[in-house]
């Protein structure tokens, strides 16, 4: 009973605070100071009698995890970010690039490039051509390091240079890459890094820049603040000290807004507040793998970069030969499913982390909170660098200003490489070539720009050109020459009766194309792609390279149960000339051909009848795989069968080989429409898509991963598939719908595999146990009445706020 009065007292206090806050908010919740009439901005924005675009201010709060915004809402002591978000727009989160560390991400944000293209691939790496190390070890990390000043490391075109090049002004306060020793590529206004400059001083400089008269005023200002990253590393993301720093930076934002308001700038400037990455707790003495225990001579045989803390380790053998890589990797592979070692070309393609000489030859894909060190370590309770698919690595995005929508909406997560195009649009300059997709963030804007210059990249190749006979049936190319040529691989019976399934009338073939390629034939600028149609699937076959480019099929609802006909018996395709298909030559030339298998792109088991399953065993449906990939491919077949059986709607599969990198792979796009009747009639917002690029010849850990882990590791975006295959997909969708689909992230769908890795202990789960232990007791009647009063005051606040919002 002794506790009851305490609770009651606490409640009275709560009620009083809530009421006080509600009145405080009643005045503060208005967005009127942001949503100013744009005619008021005209004097500020006018230049030579014309109204220019508002200046763009981008503030980076290092290490501000996306869910810190929720923690800020719980404390309510400062009112910066939440006020901005309420009167502007925010994202559920912003997805950083891999590795999820400071420099690569800050430079990706301002260039729109993946690290493999902008050169800052990590905090520690070696450039063999320069013969030099870029080195910012975690201990003694310094933004004044000479590496950060040397322009040779910084490739690509940051937004400030794009702007400068196009005759406008730009500014940056400590943004990584902005204070390099290159007066041409530096912003017009910049400062040499000095971490001791107080945040407030930085903010007053920004205000001064914003008040410069035209045309001296910068169109872009980048501002960098080091917190809450430092406190997250030193204390772990759950620490109250992080809460302090969240409030500290929020207070700085509040001061910035107040100062802008006092100077009549608020509502006339576009503001983006973002972060580079999130932060996760690092368990002490747990989940640490010591390379020394696996490879005895690792200290002398390889350079291990970022291996002090071990969150983003990479290995470069001293003798970087295939043999030496294999020796090192063979001692590490398959020991632990949470520590996956890769040849860099096999590394999950969604990271775009291979095509740079600065990327080490052996990479690790670590589960979150896992680390790889050499022997001894630098331990810190908080860290980041892991796969960007983990919610704890997710970053912040909040925007407000005349160009942004101002309904307080929360849009889906997006990738930070998309920002560069948007910032160029806001600054009214032409973007340099980059990895973003034009239009991907136009839904953040108050007015959608009318034109998408990047629209349809390709025209559709619709070729059904093999000749018809006088009855309108297809004439086969199969002839004696072809039968004689058939190599050992294609030993299947070429009894002409087996090919009857390919004898389709032209009109039926066209119907089948509509069924199996419901989003339109993939567009390409390649010539020589022929479309081969059969009842259960359609092949886009490249007769110049002699390989299938893609296979597309809508999974039949009546697939065959029997496995009788499924003994592989590959045969020549009667629809193509001998010279059109290269499979025999390819395998003859391949030194490893004895260890290769042929896999069907369309699974014969998915045929709608036993007779039609014979259509699937043609050379044009075959692709080489390594024996270890067979297990995964069979499991994927089983998953598709099961998925199709369990879902009411129709499933479409688009699959083909990827040959644009030294690591051959298969792309796989699974799309699903819940409408049980027709795929084509699918509303675009109902369309659910998941895509993968699966390495078929993994160097290491070939078959020791579970299929689920394998699939999850190799998830990609549709855009990645387009880039890797050279095809423009979903061509029948309107441009806007297509961009909507593209921007749906790999996190949005779970058709074949749940993209969300198993959760780690987060702040959310702590709050839950906290609530359980402090459950409110309603036993005491006096206390109960306080509780009811409290409830009413909360409702009253809500009503008041709504009224206020309506006004």
Rounded CA-CA distance 639/708 in Å is: 10
Give Cβ neighbours of residue 167 (< 8 Å, ≥ 6 apart): none
Q: Please identify, using beta-carbon distances, which residue of 225 and 341 lies nearer to Zn ion.
A: 225
Give Cβ neighbours of residue 755 (< 8 Å, ≥ 6 apart): 389, 690, 712, 715, 746, 747, 749
Minimum distance from CB of 113 to Zn ion (Å)?
Answer: 18
Pairing of strands 362-366, 46-47: unpaired
The pair of structure tokens assigned to 609 is 């009848």
Rounded CA-CA distance 731/523 in Å is: 7
Minimum distance from CB of 100 to Zn ion (Å)?
Answer: 9
Beta bridge pairs of residue 400: 271
Minimum distance from CB of 27 to Zn ion (Å)?
Answer: 36
Rounded CA-CA distance 364/344 in Å is: 9
Q: Is 690 a residue that touches Zn ion (CB under 5 A)?
A: no
Minimum distance from CB of 356 to Zn ion (Å)?
Answer: 21
Q: Please identify, using beta-carbon distances, which residue of 64 and 190 lies nearer to Zn ion.
A: 64
Rounded CA-CA distance 117/96 in Å is: 15
Rounded CA-CA distance 417/97 in Å is: 8
Tell me, residue by residue from 174 to 213, as one string, x for binding to Zn ion by CB under 5 A and - for no binding: ----------------------------------------
| E strand spans, 407-453 | 409-411, 414-415
Q: Please identify, using beta-carbon distances, which residue of 275 and 731 lies nearer to Zn ion.
A: 275
Beta bridge pairs of residue 540: 531, 550
Q: Is 227 a residue that touches Zn ion (CB under 5 A)?
A: no
How many chain residues interact with Zn ion (CB under 5 A)?
A: 5
For the chain, helix, strand, coil in percent to 5 are 35, 20, 45
Figure out which of the listed residues 29, 116, 229, 254 binds Zn ion, where binding follows CB under 5 A.
Answer: 229
Q: Is 276 a residue that touches Zn ion (CB under 5 A)?
A: yes
Minimum distance from CB of 384 to Zn ion (Å)?
Answer: 7
282 close to 236: Cβ distance less than 8 angstroms: yes
The secondary element (H helix, E strand) that includes residue 763 is: helix 763-773
Minimum distance from CB of 52 to Zn ion (Å)?
Answer: 33
Query: Among 161-169, 272-280, 308-316, 562-570, which window interacts with Zn ion (CB under 5 A)?
Result: 272-280
Minimum distance from CB of 608 to Zn ion (Å)?
Answer: 54
Q: Please identify, using beta-carbon distances, which residue of 102 and 219 lies nearer to Zn ion.
A: 102
Rounded CA-CA distance 177/106 in Å is: 8
Q: Please identify, using beta-carbon distances, which residue of 106 and 575 lies nearer to Zn ion.
A: 106
Rounded CA-CA distance 502/538 in Å is: 11
> Three-state DSSP class for 197?
coil
The secondary element (H helix, E strand) that includes residue 314 is: strand 314-317
Rounded CA-CA distance 95/89 in Å is: 16
Active site residue 717: no
Q: Is 102 a residue that touches Zn ion (CB under 5 A)?
A: yes
478 close to 494: Cβ distance less than 8 angstroms: yes
Query: Among 139-147, 168-176, 276-284, 561-569, which window interacts with Zn ion (CB under 5 A)?
Result: 276-284
The pair of structure tokens assigned to 175 is 């943004």
Beta bridge pairs of residue 302: 317
> Three-state DSSP class for 102?
helix
Minimum distance from CB of 664 to Zn ion (Å)?
Answer: 35
Rounded CA-CA distance 489/572 in Å is: 10
Residues 421-450 interacting with Zn ion (rule: CB under 5 A):
none
Rounded CA-CA distance 401/210 in Å is: 14
Q: Please identify, using beta-carbon distances, which residue of 65 and 217 lies nearer to Zn ion.
A: 65
Query: Among 59-67, 85-93, 430-438, 746-754, which window interacts with Zn ion (CB under 5 A)?
Result: 59-67
Query: Among 58-66, 141-149, 176-184, 544-552, which window interacts with Zn ion (CB under 5 A)?
Result: 58-66
**Three-state SS annotation for 369-382:** CCEEECCCCCCCCE
Using alpha carbons, list the distances in angstroms from residue 574 to 486, 494, 524. Answer: 11, 9, 25
Q: Please identify, using beta-carbon distances, which residue of 395 and 718 lies nearer to Zn ion.
A: 395
Where does 29-152 have alpha helices with state H? 42-45, 68-75, 81-87, 102-111, 115-118, 146-149
Figure out which of the listed residues 62, 226, 392, 720 binds Zn ion, where binding follows CB under 5 A.
Answer: 62
Q: Please identify, using beta-carbon distances, which residue of 279 and 733 lies nearer to Zn ion.
A: 279
Query: Among 165-173, 228-236, 309-317, 731-739, which window interacts with Zn ion (CB under 5 A)?
Result: 228-236
Q: Please identify, using beta-carbon distances, which residue of 229 and 573 lies nearer to Zn ion.
A: 229
Minimum distance from CB of 102 to Zn ion (Å)?
Answer: 3
Q: Is 573 a residue that touches Zn ion (CB under 5 A)?
A: no
Count CB atoms within 10 A of the CB of residue 540. Answer: 25
Residue of 207, 301, 309 lying closest to 263 (CA atoms): 207
Radius of gyration of the chain (CA): 30
The residue from 78, 100, 102, 716 that is catalytic is: 102
Give Cβ neighbours of residue 793 (< 8 Å, ≥ 6 apart): 15, 18, 19, 22
522 close to 727: Cβ distance less than 8 angstroms: yes
Query: Among 8-16, 94-102, 425-433, 558-566, which window interacts with Zn ion (CB under 5 A)?
Result: 94-102
Q: Please identify, using beta-carbon distances, which residue of 385 and 518 lies nearer to Zn ion.
A: 385
Residue of 375, 377, 362 lying closest to 292 (CA atoms): 375
Minimum distance from CB of 367 to Zn ion (Å)?
Answer: 21
CA 753 distance to own-chain centroid: 16
Minimum distance from CB of 111 to Zn ion (Å)?
Answer: 16
- Check whether the bond before 228 is cis (ω within 30° of 0): yes
Minimum distance from CB of 418 to Zn ion (Å)?
Answer: 19
Minimum distance from CB of 114 to Zn ion (Å)?
Answer: 17
- State the residue number with the nearest CB to Zn ion: 102
φ, ψ (nearest 5 deg) of residue 393: -90, -5
φ, ψ (nearest 5 deg) of residue 168: -115, 175
Q: Which residues are catalytic?
A: 102
Return residues touching Zn ion (CB under 5 A): 62-63, 102, 229, 276
């Amino acid at each position: 009973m002794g506790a009851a009065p305490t609770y009651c007292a606490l409640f009275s206090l709560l009620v009083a605070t809530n009421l006080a806050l509600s009145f405080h908010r009643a005045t503060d919740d208005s967005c009127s100071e942001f949503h100013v009439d744009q005619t008021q901005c005209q004097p500020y924005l006018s230049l030579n009698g014309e109204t220019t675009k508002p200046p763009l201010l981008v503030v980076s709060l290092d290490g501000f995890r996306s869910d810190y915004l929720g923690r800020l809402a719980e404390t309510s002591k400062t009112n910066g970010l939440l006020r901005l978000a309420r009167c502007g727009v925010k994202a559920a989160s912003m997805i950083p690039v891999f590795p999820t560390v400071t420099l690569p991400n800050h430079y990706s944000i301002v260039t729109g490039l993946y690290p493999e293209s902008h050169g800052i691939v990590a905090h520690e790496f070696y450039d063999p051509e320069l013969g030099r190390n870029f080195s910012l070890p975690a201990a003694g990390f310094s933004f004044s390091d000479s590496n950060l000043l040397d322009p040779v490391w910084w490739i690509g075109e940051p937004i400030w240079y794009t702007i400068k090049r196009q005759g406008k002004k730009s500014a940056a306060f400590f943004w990584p890459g902005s204070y390099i020793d290159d007066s041409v590529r530096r912003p017009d206004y910049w400062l040499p890094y000095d971490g001791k400059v107080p945040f407030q001083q930085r903010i007053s400089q920004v205000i001064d820049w914003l008040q410069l008269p035209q045309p001296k005023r910068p169109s872009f200002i980048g501002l960098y603040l080091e917190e809450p990253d430092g406190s997250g590393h030193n204390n772990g993301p759950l620490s109250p000290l992080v809460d302090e720093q969240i409030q500290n930076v929020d207070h700085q934002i509040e001061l910035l807004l107040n100062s802008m308001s006092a100077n009549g700038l608020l509502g006339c400037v576009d503001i983006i507040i973002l972060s580079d990455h999130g932060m996760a707790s690092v368990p002490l003495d747990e989940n640490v793998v010591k390379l020394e225990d696996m490879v005895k001579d690792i200290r002398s045989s390889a350079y291990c970069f970022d291996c002090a803390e071990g969150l983003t380790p990479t290995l470069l053998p001293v003798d970087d030969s295939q043999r030496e890589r294999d020796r090192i990797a063979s001692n590490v592979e398959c020991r632990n499913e949470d520590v996956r070692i890769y040849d860099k070309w096999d590394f999950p393609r969604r990271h775009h982390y291979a095509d740079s000489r600065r990327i080490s030859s052996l990479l690790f894909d670590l589960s979150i909170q896992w680390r790889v060190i050499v022997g001894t370590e630098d331990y810190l309770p908080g860290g980041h660098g892991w796969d960007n698919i983990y919610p704890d690595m997710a970053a912040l995005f909040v925007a407000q200003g005349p160009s942004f929508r101002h309904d307080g909406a929360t849009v889906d997560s997006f990738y930070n490489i998309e920002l560069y195009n948007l910032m160029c649009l806001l600054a009214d300059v032409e973007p340099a070539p980059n990895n973003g997709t034009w239009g991907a963030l136009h839904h953040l804007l108050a007015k959608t720009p009318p034109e998408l210059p990047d629209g349809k990249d390709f025209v559709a190749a619709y070729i059904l050109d093999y000749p018809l006979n006088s009855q309108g049936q297809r004439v086969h190319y199969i002839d004696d020459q072809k039968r004689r040529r058939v190599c050992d691989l294609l030993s299947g019976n070429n009894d002409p009766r087996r090919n009857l399934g390919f004898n389709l009338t032209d009109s039926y073939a066209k119907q089948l194309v509509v069924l199996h390629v419901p989003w339109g034939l993939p567009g390409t600028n390649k010539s020589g792609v022929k479309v081969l149609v059969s009842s259960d699937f359609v092949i886009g076959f490249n007769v110049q390279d002699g390989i299938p480019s893609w296979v597309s099929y809508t999974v039949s609802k009546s697939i065959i149960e029997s496995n009788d006909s499924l003994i592989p018996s590959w045969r020549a395709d009667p629809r193509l000339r001998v010279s059109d298909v290269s499979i025999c030559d390819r395998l003859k030339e391949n030194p490893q051909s004895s260890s290769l298998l042929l896999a069907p792109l369309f699974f014969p088991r998915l045929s709608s009848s036993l007779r039609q399953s014979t259509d699937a065993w043609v050379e044009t449906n075959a692709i080489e795989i390594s024996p270890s990939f067979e297990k995964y491919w069979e499991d994927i077949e089983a998953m598709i069968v099961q998925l199709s059986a369990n879902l009411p709607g129709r499933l479409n599969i688009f699959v083909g080989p990827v040959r644009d990198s030294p690591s051959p792979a298969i792309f796989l796009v699974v799309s699903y429409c819940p409408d049980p009747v027709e795929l084509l009639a699918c509303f675009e917002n109902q369309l659910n898509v998941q895509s993968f690029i699966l390495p078929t010849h993994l160097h290491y850990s070939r078959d020791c991963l579970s299929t689920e882990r394998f699939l999850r590791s190799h998830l990609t975006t549709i855009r990645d598939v387009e880039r890797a295959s050279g095809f423009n997909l979903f061509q029948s969708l309107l441009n806007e719908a297509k961009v909507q689909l593209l921007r749906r992230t790999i996190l949005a769908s779970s058709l074949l595999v749940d993209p969300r890795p198993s959760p780690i202990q987060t702040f959310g789960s702590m709050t839950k146990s906290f609530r359980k232990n402090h459950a409110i007791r309603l036993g005491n009647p006096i206390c109960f009445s306080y509780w009811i009063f409290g409830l009413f005051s909360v409702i009253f606040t809500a009503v008041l706020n709504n009224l206020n919002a309506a006004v």
